[in-house]
Amino acid sequence: MNFDLSDEQKMLAEQANGLLAERSPPDRLRQLIDAGAEWDEPLWRELAEMGFLGAAIPEQFGGVGMTRLDLAVISEELGRANAALPFFSSIVLAAEAIMLAGSEEQKARWLPALASGDTIATFAYAEGPGGWTADVLTAQVRDGVLDGQKGPVADAGIASLAIVLAHDGSGQPTLGLVSLDHPGVTRTKLASFDQLRAHYELRFDGVPFEPLAAAPADEVLAKLFDLAAVQAAFEAVGGADACLKMARDYAMDRQIFGRPLAGYQAIKHKLADIFVAIELARSSAFYAAWAATYGEEELPAAAAAARLSATGAFEQAARENIQVHGGIGYTFEANCHFYYRRERTLATAIGNREVWANRLIDSFLTQNANVAEVA
Amino acid sequence: MDFTDSPEEAAFRTEARNWLNANAPAHELPRGVTLDDADEVARGTAWQRRLAEAGYAGILLPQALGGRGGTIMEAVVFGEEEARFNLPKGPYIIIGLSMALPVIAKHGTPEQIERFAAATLLGDLTWCQLFSEPAAGSDLAAVRTRAVKDGDDWVVNGQKVWSSWAHLSDWGILIARTDPSLPKHKGLSFFVVDMKTPGIDVRPIRQISGASDFNETFFTDVRIPDSCRIGAVGEGWACAMTVLTGERLNQGGSDNGEGIGGLIHYAARTPRGRGTALDSEAVRLSLAMAYAEEQAERHFQSRMRTMVSRGENPGAMAAVVKLAFASRYQKTAGLAMELREMAGIAHRPEEADTARIWYDYIWSTALRIAGGADEVLRNQISERVLGMPGDIRADKNVPFDQL
Ligand SMILES: Cc1cc2nc3c(=O)[nH]c(=O)nc-3n(C[C@H](O)[C@H](O)[C@H](O)COP(=O)(O)OP(=O)(O)OC[C@H]3O[C@@H](n4cnc5c(N)ncnc54)[C@H](O)[C@@H]3O)c2cc1C
């Protein structure tokens, strides 16, 4: 057994970490917020040049052809830096959807543009609260044309392409490519809790819809979200780790009643618990990334478990980080708030705790169906 | 990243599995039956002898000491395969193998190794741990039991407590104060003691489980020959640390039940209304969270094993497993009781499942205390991993007799 990243993966992490620490420090994030920017465009270009965007896209489609585990290493670093990039929308969701379900022609048309960063895509599945099963979807495709409303959709202000989940009139879900530059698309910007990730409502009035047809949409969607959950888990672990380090460093410096705040057990034990939560979550994320790469059958349960653990760890770390900082933590000048906001975004994107708890239980039962019959 | 056995590991696993399939079933404890303590120890030593004869006792111990001289991965693989059977491996065996042997091997003389190693491996000697005292638990270095040199002997007086299985052990590992004029960690020495020595009085303590497998152990003018001192005079703390490191690496990770998976199946077949208990969103959420935590521990252990097999010292990372496991074990058993509703707190005599859950719920409290209490582990993690300052110690550098 060798349950660790390879030396190459560790180097990849270092590379990504170095770039992001230099180009996307907290002051840069504050600058972007003040400028009302929806992303860090120059940073996106640099990531593309380093091959990070196309890491898991096959070489024949303009990518680097590495595994999803390698992509996860990058996701963790993006989480640590709290980067303002459409990586999750464009790479983790849209590019992966095309890889899973696109025709060869669709892959050849879109993947190179996504890997190079020239095209930004997003993934439109939600229609407000109430889930996204076919029976509740209102967005509808008829004769190759999409009508209806989707939202919130992340990064839809900067994306030119969307993969949209709709129903086909007969109660079946369908996934397809939609150009957001078509005149029948209306984009309305929403107030976004995460100041570094914009969300939009999209209206479609008679917009051409090109199905991704290599597999039934519900199967594609389930697999896609499992894979995305793995990346989200790494991103959350990265964010949680950044919070823990920040809280620890602050507590070491801060003098209270004549000694460092870090010397008080209330703080030591709080941070020890967060460390445990992070390392447990990281372990499950490793396993899920391994399953995403090599172990199809284990993926659904492994992804759900990693998702739940990582979300919990980030939640705890983001909240307690502000707490340890005291009043400073409540200021825009301190860096805690980026993570406090991003954490909620990650915790709700691609399904909240309830969704993933159900996914975990259901996939556990499927995976162990024979055991249940014996018992 | 690779979860499959290497060819050598796979070969060893096959070998271990074949041997265990042929030998273990005859030694398994009957499930759901409480054995008499002496009977259990006899079965434990018999299994230990069988292991030793086949060369599977002390896999990590050097061959010179009668061990196998194997790798950590071999020990792990054998442990995994052995755990598939319900074998008698209580403290009466584990204390000898993972505490007494390492400390004797590291700090003992060649004569002491010769005298104790083989006999312990063969199950001929069982051991108890005589560390804790009424005023010294987490703060072990506060022990008051005194050992005073008298000719070639040490004369020991004092009281130990929580001594597991001391009533049925042949020998004990003992930490005692030999110089009270030194600060507390410095005045300690380490001994092995024959439990039949006159002056040792072992009295059972009634536990919350109903059983009495730990004891108070009183020492009144007990004479221990100097040849039973392990390590130099004053080296007791270093010896104790060797023991506790062995203890830590052995803990945590698996409960004997079916874990959360078993609970999910239980909920799926338990009628509730028109469906089953697993139709409830609340039940699903709590089971899913517990299952995620359980799996995470499993994967964390795989990471630790990877470190250990590369020769890296996981250090305080071992505390993570123990800390996470004990609380999760308690939560799981508590959840299992709640899921059963009123049947979780009162059962027919023959319902062994519920009885086992009760045992888990009670025993989990001990796991959160013994072998490094939760709070002590949190201190270790914050200090050794996160580099945060140690607690303020009022007794630091003060001679013990002036505290
Ligand atoms: C079932 C069982 C079997 C055992 N078997 C043996 C045995 O065979 N041999 C043996 O020698 N001992 C044995 N022990 C004893 C065990 O090692 C001690 O119980 C343990 O070290 C804790 O010590 P204590 O009981 O004195 O509790 P204390 O140390 O008094 O702890 C009480 C509480 O204080 C907390 N605490 C302690 N220190 C700190 C700190 N610095 N900061 C914050 N909180 C702190 C603890 O976490 C705990 O919650 C056994 C215990 C149990 C429960």
Q: Give this complex's ipTM.
A: 0.94
Which residues partner with A260 through β-bridges?
A: A255
CB pairs under 8 A between A and B: 163
Report pLDDT for A372. Answer: 53
How many distinct structural domains can be found in chain B? 3
Residues 6+ apart with CB under 8 A from B157: B145, B146, B148, B219, B220, B221, B222
Give the minimum alpha-carbon distance from B111 to chain A in angstroms, rounded to a whole number.
39
For range B9-23, the mean pLDDT = 96
C-alpha of residue A185 to centroid of ligand 1, in Å: 66
Same domain, A248 and A276: yes
DSSP, residue by residue, A222-259: HHHHHHHHHHHHHHHHHHHHHHHHHHHHHHHH-EETTE
Report pLDDT for A98. Answer: 98
Residues 6+ apart with CB under 8 A from B226: B149, B152, B153, B154
Percent of chain B whose predicted confidence (pLDDT) is above 70 = 97
For range B54-79, the mean pLDDT = 88
Report pLDDT for A305. Answer: 98
Q: Is the pLDDT of residue B174 over 80?
A: yes
Comparing B311 with B240, the larger pLDDT belongs to: B240
Tell me the pLDDT tens digit for each residue of B296-317.
Answer: 999 998 898 888 778 787 778 8
* Full domain range(s) for residue A244: 218-374
pLDDT, block means (10 residues), chain A with 375 residues: 90 98 98 98 98 98 96 98 98 98 97 98 94 92 97 98 95 96 98 98 98 90 98 98 98 98 98 98 96 90 98 98 98 98 97 97 91 52
Q: Is the pLDDT of residue B252 over 80?
A: no
Inter-chain CB proximity A279 and B320 less than 8 Å: yes
C-alpha of residue B371 to centroid of ligand 1, in Å: 7
Contact (Cβ atoms closer than 8 angstroms) between residue B294 and residue B301: no
Q: Within B108-234, where are the H helices? A: 110-121
Same domain, B212 and B257: no
Contact (Cβ atoms closer than 8 angstroms) between residue A163 and residue A123: yes
Tell me the pLDDT tens digit for each residue of A96-132.
Answer: 999 999 999 999 999 999 999 999 999 999 998 888 9
Which ligand 1 atom minimizes the distance to the CA of B371? Answer: 17
Q: Is the pLDDT of residue B75 over 60?
A: yes
Residues 7-46 of B with CB under 8 A from A: 9
Contact (Cβ atoms closer than 8 angstroms) between residue B197 and residue B212: no
Same domain, B267 and B357: yes
C-alpha of residue B202 to centroid of ligand 1, in Å: 20
Same domain, B171 and B75: no
C-alpha gyration radius of chain A: 21
For range B237-258, the mean pLDDT = 68
**Of A281, A354, A375, Cβ closest to residue B285:** A354
**Mean pLDDT, rounded, of chain B:** 92
- Domain contains B142: yes
Token pair 């000898």: residue: B96
Residues 74-133 of B with CB under 8 A from A: none
Same domain, A91 and A145: no
Same domain, B210 and B137: yes
CATH (domain of B287): 1.20.140.10
- Domain contains A2: no
- Domain contains B398: no
Same domain, B224 and B262: no
Contact (Cβ atoms closer than 8 angstroms) between residue B63 and residue B21: no
Q: Could you tell me the two tokens for A202?
A: 């999209």
Inter-chain CB proximity A289 and B385 less than 8 Å: no
Does B5 touch chain A if contact means CB atoms closer than 8 Å? yes
Which of A227-238 are b and which e, b meaning 16 or more Cβ less than 10 Å from the residue's Cβ?
Answer: bbbbbbbbbbbb
Which residue of B299, B300, B353, B377 is the best one to mutate when testing the A interface, meaning the one whose CB has the most A CBs within 10 A?
B299
Which ligand 1 atom minimizes the distance to the CA of B95? Answer: 8
Length of chain A in terms of residues written: 375
How many distinct structural domains can be found in chain A? 3
Contact (Cβ atoms closer than 8 angstroms) between residue A206 and residue A185: no
CATH (domain of B154): 2.40.110.10
Contact (Cβ atoms closer than 8 angstroms) between residue A88 and residue A96: no
Same domain, A268 and A369: yes
Same domain, A224 and A366: yes
Same domain, B229 and B151: yes
Same domain, A63 and A36: yes
Question: Does ligand 1 have an atom closer than 6 angstroms to the CB of B268?
Answer: no
Inter-chain CB proximity A364 and B291 less than 8 Å: yes
Contact (Cβ atoms closer than 8 angstroms) between residue A131 and residue A176: no
For range B81-104, the mean pLDDT = 93
Q: Within A24-168, where are the H helices? A: 26-34, 41-49, 68-81, 87, 96-101, 104-115
Report pLDDT for B256. Answer: 47
Q: Is the pLDDT of residue B274 over 90?
A: yes
C-alpha gyration radius of chain B: 23
* Full domain range(s) for residue B182: 127-234
Report pLDDT for B244. Answer: 86
Q: Is the pLDDT of residue B114 over 80?
A: yes
Helix axis angle, B281-309 relative to B317-339, nearest 10°?
Answer: 160
Report pLDDT for B62. Answer: 86
Question: Does ligand 1 have an atom closer than 6 angstroms to the CB of B214?
Answer: yes
Is B114 labeled as catalytic in the residue annotation? no
Same domain, B214 and B262: no
Report pLDDT for A96. Answer: 98
Residues 6+ apart with CB under 8 A from A21: A81
